[in-house]
Amino acid sequence: MTDILKEAALTRGLLPSGASFRLVPAGILWGEMAARLLKAGLARPLAGGPAAFSAVEIIARSADAIHLLGPAPLDAAIAWADGEGIGAIFAQQLDLISASRPVLAGLPSDRPLVMGIVNVTPDSFSDGGDFAATADAVDHAFALLMQGADILDIGGESTRPGADPVPVEEELRRVVPVIEGIRRRAGAKRPVISIDTRRPDVMRAALDAGADIINDVTGLADPGSRCIVAEAKVPAMLMHMRGEPQTMLGEARYDFTPLQMLEELEQRVLDAEQAGIPRDRIIVDPGIGFAKNTEQNLEVLARLGLLHGFGCTVLLGASRKRMIANLSRDEPGKERVPGSLAIALAGVEQGVQIVRVHDVAETVQALKVWAGIAGRR
């Protein structure tokens, strides 16, 4: 196991020679407090605002250890980085964390977005079979839109731990009629639709049927998927996972989960860029519950801010996940709404721009109340 070394104070020579490092925005502020510190130059915008961050934690990897340094106020951290000879790289990372994120598919960019889940499956972990019929799935999609969903995420294959793969033909049979049905009923209103799939053939068919966004749990691992997204010029959601749904629980071995998640997801981002997908069309997802146990999920959730270092939009999907029951009273999926809301709000507090949820009405209400409080701090 790699040693985890922790130091609160930033001192000269603390960072080993040749160590790579990442920044976690800390001291995150909203509302009037954020505006005051931004005006005074004591904070920087988080992903373009309206939130601001006034400190950073530094996570560094050396040959034999992972170093957790700080957090430290921005001015002190910048001065320390300059003294260590890493000021230029430090500034580049701060710029990526601060940069504004693009408008996605014409959606609002001044508030967190809610992605409503439409599972057209008989075996999803919390609502399998509820909307397996095309008509039921289309009705459910419009119910989610009425509740305030910004994006509809249509999926035809369960990727829960242990799930068996679905033949491509069956996945197509499930999802394409639903997308077409939503488009017919919506007419000119055109809601934003994402297709939750890891198969290039399903991606292409879904885009032809009217999908706007690709959501791939493998992070576009298939070169064919990357080519389709690049050619279609659509946004793509790249999630972190290891292995396959049937085997991924056996892959939950990390020295320090947040950093390794980031490093592995970064390779997916770089592969996508090399295929011609610009970073302003990439959305990153830490993959809560995918090749991670409860403790590892919590470690990632505590440092979601690491993902802002990509300069990409960040999505969080932890709705009704097993970790909620593990931390509570072993409730079944549909009784995990309070825990799902807690995770969504914790993510939004750290600047997450999209939350993927089953329970749209409850999430929209929670976000509106949270925004009312955050805007008045």
Quick: pLDDT tens for 161-171: 878 889 999 99
Quick: pLDDT tens for 2-11: 899 999 999 9
Of 26, 51, 23, 57, residue with least CA distance to 38: 51
Q: Which residues are catalytic?
A: 321, 356
pLDDT band at 128 (very low <50, low <70, confident <90, very high): low
Of 25, 110, 123, 105, residue with least CA distance to 73: 25
Of 235, 231, 201, 228, residue with least CA distance to 115: 235
Q: CATH 3.20.20.20 region(s) of the chain?
A: 113-374
User: What topology is assigned to 113-374 in CATH?
Assistant: TIM Barrel (3.20.20)
Of 174, 276, 298, 264, residue with least CA distance to 232: 276
Among the listed ranges 9-13, 71-75, 347-351, which one has the minimum average pLDDT value?
9-13
Q: Would you say residue 291 has pLDDT above 70?
A: yes
Quick: pLDDT tens for 104-120: 889 988 899 999 999 99
pLDDT band at 231 (very low <50, low <70, confident <90, very high): very high
Sequence letter at residue 105:
A
* Burial letters 55-91, b for 16+ CB under 10 A, else e: bbbbbbbbeeebbbbbbbbbeebbebbeebebeeebe
DSSP β-bridge partners for residue 253: none
85: helix, strand or coil:
coil
Tell me what pLDDT residue 169 has.
97
Q: How far apart are CA 288 and CA 101, in angstroms?
A: 22
Cβ neighbors of 375 (< 8 A, separation 6 or more) are 30, 31
DSSP β-bridge partners for residue 64: none
Tokens of 215: 């959501």
Tell me what pLDDT residue 125 has.
58
Specify the pTM: 0.96
DSSP labels, 294-351: HHHHHHHHHTGGGGGGGTSEEEE--TT-HHHHHHTT---GGG-HHHHHHHHHHHHHTT
